[in-house]
Amino acid sequence: MKQAAARAALEYVVEGGVIGVGTGSTARFFIEELSGMKGRIAGAVASSEDTRRRLQGHGIRVFELGEIADCPVYVDGADEITPKMHMIKGGGGALTREKIVAAVAGRFVCIVDGSKVVNYLGRFPLPVEIIPMARAHVARELAGLGGTPVLRAGFVTDNGNLILDVQGLRIFDPVELETRINQIAGVVTNGLFARRPADVCLVGTPDGTRAMTR
């Protein structure tokens, strides 16, 4: 189902453009699909070092964000997505670079299997990337918001930071909570993608792939 959603995303690839590419198992399927049309795109922007290596391994040119004039489309998976196209991302730990590429992209195409579609976010623990020295302070603040932060053991992000996975948050207003958590000193960003939601979500199901839009 992930592969079917990834294949369907090829329809949104803009020929001649630089394509933003996400991180995770669904994005990996997309990289394989994209390699089949690499001669028809200028190249890609990677949301993680893992994705960069995989793209280059398929002979796809990888640009730095500062090198390109625009990025017409960004294709990435999600850990949870609602019908309003708000998401939790960062299960793979690449949330900050993912959010940067999503901010630059003209269109965000989310690719998921049906299990990721939820009415309310929060069953999946919310990843928060933090500056290491702020760990105790941020953890206290997140507990004050009603969550239980757990340090992702043995994990360092591509940016040299740590991740707290926050369990038990009741996320009624994702836009407000995204903003609030990002204001805690020491937070780099959090895995709520609500201020910049997806534009299209391709959902792989046993009966085929369906598109949700805002």
Query: What is the contact surface with ligand 5RP in residues (CB under 6 A)?
Result: 22-26, 76-79, 89-95, 98
Q: Give residue 47's identity as a one-letter amino acid code.
A: S
CB of 202 to ligand 5RP, least distance (A): 12
- Give the shortest CB-77-to-ligand 5RP separation in angstroms: 3
Strand partners, 107: 73
Is 98 in the active site? Answer: yes
Q: Which is nearer to ligand 5RP, 30 or 134 (CB)?
A: 30
Burial of residue 117, with CB atoms counted within 10 A of its CB: 0-12 exposed, 13-18 middle, 19 or more buried: middle
- What tokens does 50 get? 């893992």
Picking from 120, 124, 138, the residue whose alpha carbon sits closest to that of residue 189 is 138
Which of 98, 129, 141, 178 does the annotation list as catalytic?
A: 98
Q: How far is the CB of 39 from ligand 5RP (least distance, A)?
A: 26
C-beta of 141 vs 189, nearer to ligand 5RP: 189
Q: How many Å is the maximal CA-CA distance in the chain?
A: 51
Nearer to ligand 5RP, 185 or 211 (CB): 211
With respect to ligand 5RP, which residue has the nearer C-beta, 95 or 142? 95
CB of residue 51 vs ligand 5RP: minimum separation in angstroms? 9
Burial class (CB in 10 A: 0-12, 13-18, 19+), 23: buried
Task: Please choose, from the candidates 200, 211, 30, 17, the residue with its C-alpha nearest in 3D space to the C-alpha of residue 109.
Answer: 200
Catalytic positions are 98
